[in-house]
Amino acid sequence: MIKVEGLTKTFGTQPVLRGVDLEVPDGSITVIIGQSGGGKSVFLRHLLGLVRPDSGRVIVDGVDLTQLRGRALDRIRERYGVVFQGGALFDSLTCAGNVAFPLQEKTRLSRAQIAERVAAALQRVGLADVGDKYPAEVSGGMRKRVAIARALVTEPAIVFFDEPTTGLDPILVNTIHRLIRELHRRLRFTAVMVSHEIPEIFEIADSVAMLHEGRIVEVGPPEAIQASPNPIIQQFIRGEPEVRI
């Protein structure tokens, strides 16, 4: 579904991506891990088409995203859903209004059709009774679930999760992870997730890629990554500071 080849990006004199190569299989959950400042967010923005690389390609279903402009790029993005870090809900809209927003902006569905889709999306995330509440009136975990419902309401083929459990306690982290896995099983979207949640993230990932200093140093199933002899990966998993000699 997604293939990244030789992606590089430098801001000023600071190289951030130094030749990233990665394949995201169709229908999988691929998780990008790595230390803060290692380029994960910049990499995700390239996949979304928000940033153009200095070199390299981002191929989505055989189409090089880096060569697209305007409406052609928008057509690719119409297949995307995004769960932003922190949720990024509109405080002035109800939870139902937030979920309805992409349908109102991107489709020509009638008001009744939108209401039906919104109700179904909230039901899927266990929030059938909070549609009339505003984000400030619900818990942090509920806001995350509303953000997931909004990302999925357009039935996207690809969903990007940018640190979807930031700020949640360990119990809620596991609850959101289980929800994402269940929704993935039911809806079969392709997922790319950036996460710091170690070791919890290994429970839902099909594939894990370690991004370190602008390069993917290893990619594989969770069991292989956890057993990797690479000291960079083991230090990260154990939460140890990197030692430079």
For residue range 185-197, list pLDDT tens digits in order.
999 999 999 998 8
User: What are the structural domain ranges in the chain?
Assistant: 1-79+189-245
Q: With CA atoms as reference, report the closest residue to 213 among 15, 31, 48, 46.
A: 15
User: Could you tell me the two tokens for 207?
Assistant: 């594939």
Quote the longest CA-to-CA distance of the chain.
63
CATH of domain 1-79+189-245: 3.40.50.300
Instruction: Say whether pLDDT at 241 is over 80.
Output: no
1 vs 6: CA distance, rounded Å: 17
Residue 66 is classified by DSSP as G
Per-residue pLDDT, 243: 53
Global pTM reads 0.92
Distances in Å between the Cα of 32 and the Cα atoms of 16, 38, 120, 178, 205 are: 15, 11, 30, 18, 10
C-alpha closest to that of 179 among 102, 85, 83: 83
pLDDT single digits (tens) 84-118: 987 899 999 999 999 999 999 988 999 999 999 99
Tell me the pLDDT of the chain averaged across its residues: 93
Band the pLDDT of 245: cuts 50, 70, 90: very low
